[in-house]
Amino acid sequence: MVAPTPPTLDPKELNKFYINGQYVSPVSKETYILRNPKDDTIVADAVPVGGPEDVDAAVAAAEAAFTGPWSTFTAAQRSECLRRLADILEDKMMDILTLDSLTTGNPVSLIPSREKNYIKSNLLYYSGWTDKQKGDYYPADDGFVKLVRHEPLGVCVGINPYNSPVASFVIKAAPCLATGNVLIIKPSEKSPLGSLALAPLFEQAGFPRGVVQVVCGDGRTGALFAKHMRVRKISFTGSVATGKKIQIAAAESNLKRVTLELGGKSPAVIFEDANIENALTWTINGILARSGQVCVAASRVYVQESIADQFIEAYTQRMKDAALRLGDPQDPETTLGPLADAASFARVQAMVEKGKTEAQLVVGGVQHGPSGCFIEPAVFINPQPNAEIYKNEVFGPVAVVKTFQTEEEVLELANDTEFGLMAGVFTRDINRALRVSSKIDTGVCGINCISYMNIQAPFGGKKASGIGREFGEYALRSFTEPKTVLIK
């Protein structure tokens, strides 16, 4: 079967689900409107919300695909499909990612420089893993030969965030499919269009129909998947509050496997011997990426007192200058766009207003321009110990800078949080760098860098920042179950 493609990439035509190799009209009749956050214009006026029948249909098709032709694909065939998909996306990526720019505010300037290579690299990386996840053999010294092999879980569901919808789709799909599973994607209700446009390209790349499907909707649709008795794994990227609900639903249904990549409040620790220019570059980029709407945003900056005045002056000026880069995200020259929607804008504004009573606002935090969801990058200093702006994830271009005197002090400050996703240590002293990085309670810690992920190494958080890991060989483990075979 040749996979259908939309007649155009007009977002108003992507008002169906992609189930079992075709675009289908939803059983549920509930729809909602998507708007462009730069000017509140309507992008799509009838985006469907998946209901119980729609979810059941996708799961049934996924099960049929898992036990059907897909189960006979060799590792080499799976690898070929992933590589072919990477080739297909070479020409289609710009159009697909531009769809999501219309509803997220992500600048299209990021597509050729970051998104395209990132997505393609994920597909090519896991195409090389399809035949390399080895098992184990233990000798029969007790009369039993012991074999261990890694088997796919079956029907997996990816529930994705709005900030990087297609990249998140591929981050989950590549290891999931490399290990022989099938996947249903529930994109964020704020950014479903790129995922719907991407879906049929999997069949064009050679994957059987039903192996990859997309059902959009809001949290109610995600909840249906989380508690579905025929789903074997949920991979969720999003907020801590929603992650907790998914874990509860998974436990109360069929104890399905869960990977949770949740929020962060990442500390960047700048010691007095650091390369100041390098530290400025990384910390500024780490809070402005996607207008601060990333889980690894460098939102807490700790600066040693002896260099604090110098660093804060330069940091504040660069954040002030960044406001000049705010503009139309569909303009290829724009590098900093708006927040994703009016709800996100209102939330960040409310946190900034409260922050003014708990810390000192030195720059930004106001609406940029007469309309749209643009907010000027903000810097707070001298926060109260329990200030909301200091303790909670903002998910916007808002940073808090605090000074410290000793290594012991800053470790206590950096670890005084329930988040534990990303951190950065800036120093020229390699012994200090390794010592401090080992004591910061996070899943990832950069030395002289921050807010960076590498596909070869596991990515994920500690504490409330999540469960499980993505990227590298570790992602393959999360999509398989070891089976022990005993031979007498």
- What is the DSSP annotation of 198-237? HTTHHHHTTPPTTSEEE----HHHHHHHHT-TT--EEEEE
Is residue 45 within a helix (H) or strand (E), and if so which, with residue range?
strand 42-48
What CATH number is associated with residue 428? Answer: 3.40.309.10
- The reply to whether 131 and 245 lie within a common domain is yes
**160, 169 contact by CB (below 8 A):** yes
Position 226 in a domain: yes
- The reply to whether 242 and 184 lie within a common domain is yes
pLDDT at position 22 is 95
Q: Count other C-beta atoms under 10 Å from residue 306's C-beta.
A: 13
Active-site residues, by number, are: 261
Task: Write out the two tokens for 436.
Answer: 């401090």
Position 145 in a domain: yes
CA angle 468, 474, 476 (to 5 degrees): 105
Q: Give the structural domain span for 44.
A: 11-262+466-487
Considering the entire predicted model, what is its pTM? 0.95
What CATH number is associated with residue 110? Answer: 3.40.605.10
- The reply to whether 249 and 274 lie within a common domain is no
Q: Count other C-beta atoms under 10 Å from residue 275's C-beta.
A: 14
How many domains are contained in the chain? 2
- HEC-encoded secondary structure of 343-382: HHHHHHHHHHHHHCCCCEEEECCCECCCCCCCECCEEEEC
Q: Count other C-beta atoms under 10 Å from residue 247's C-beta.
A: 16
Q: Which residue has the tokens 């909707």?
A: 217
Residue type, position 100, single letter? D
pLDDT at position 7 is 41
Residue type, position 457, single letter? A
- The reply to whether 183 and 308 lie within a common domain is no
Question: Rounded to whole angstroms, how far apart are CA atoms 360 and 367?
Answer: 18
Question: Rounded to whole angstroms, how far apart are CA atoms 313 and 334?
Answer: 25
- The reply to whether 253 and 277 lie within a common domain is no
- The reply to whether 114 and 241 lie within a common domain is yes
- The reply to whether 16 and 154 lie within a common domain is yes
**89, 120 contact by CB (below 8 A):** yes
Position 131 in a domain: yes
User: Burial code of 312-350, b = ≥16 C-beta within 10 A, e = fewer?
Assistant: beebbebbbebbeebbbbbeeebbbbbbbbeebbeebbe
pLDDT at position 6 is 44
User: Burial code of 170-188, b = ≥16 C-beta within 10 A, e = fewer?
Assistant: bbbbbbbbbbbbbbbbbbb
**465, 454 contact by CB (below 8 A):** no
Please give the C-alpha separations between residue 140 and each of 101, 146, 239, 485, in angstroms, as whole numbers.
58, 7, 48, 12
Pick from 334, 406, 228: nearest CA to 215 = 228
Is residue 153 within a helix (H) or strand (E), and if so which, with residue range?
none
The stretches of 199-339 forming alpha helices (DSSP H) are 201-204, 219-226, 240-252, 276-288, 305-322
Position 2 in a domain: no
Question: Rounded to whole angstroms, how far apart are CA atoms 404 and 479?
Answer: 42
Assign residue 20 a region (left: φ > 0; alpha: ψ between -120 and 50; beta: otherwise): left
- The reply to whether 176 and 277 lie within a common domain is no
Question: Rounded to whole angstroms, how far apart are CA atoms 420 and 378?
Answer: 23
Position 457 in a domain: no
- The reply to whether 34 and 100 lie within a common domain is yes
Per-residue pLDDT of the chain (488 residues; tens, 9 = 90+): 555 554 457 887 789 999 999 999 999 999 999 999 999 999 999 999 999 999 999 999 999 999 999 999 999 999 999 999 999 999 999 999 999 999 999 999 999 878 889 999 999 999 999 999 999 999 999 999 999 999 999 999 999 999 999 999 999 999 999 999 999 999 999 999 999 999 999 999 999 999 999 999 999 999 999 999 999 999 999 999 999 999 999 999 999 999 999 999 999 999 999 999 999 999 999 999 999 999 999 999 999 999 999 999 999 999 999 999 999 999 999 999 999 999 999 999 999 999 999 999 999 999 999 999 999 999 999 999 999 999 999 999 999 999 999 999 999 999 999 999 999 999 999 999 999 999 999 999 999 999 999 999 999 999 999 999 999 999 999 999 999 999 99
Position 424 in a domain: yes
Please give the C-alpha separations between residue 204 and each of 3, 21, 84, 176, in angstroms, as whole numbers.
6, 10, 9, 18
Question: Rounded to whole angstroms, how far apart are CA atoms 426 and 268?
Answer: 8
Residue type, position 228, single letter? H
Question: Rounded to whole angstroms, how far apart are CA atoms 434 and 349?
Answer: 38
Residues 6+ apart with CB under 8 A from 152: 66, 179, 180, 181, 479, 480
- What is the DSSP annotation of 439-468? HS-SSEEEES--S---TTS-B--SGGGEES
- The reply to whether 156 and 25 lie within a common domain is yes
- The reply to whether 27 and 133 lie within a common domain is yes
Question: Rounded to whole angstroms, how far apart are CA atoms 132 and 283?
Answer: 37
- The reply to whether 189 and 295 lie within a common domain is no
pLDDT at position 8 is 57
Position 452 in a domain: no
Position 273 in a domain: yes
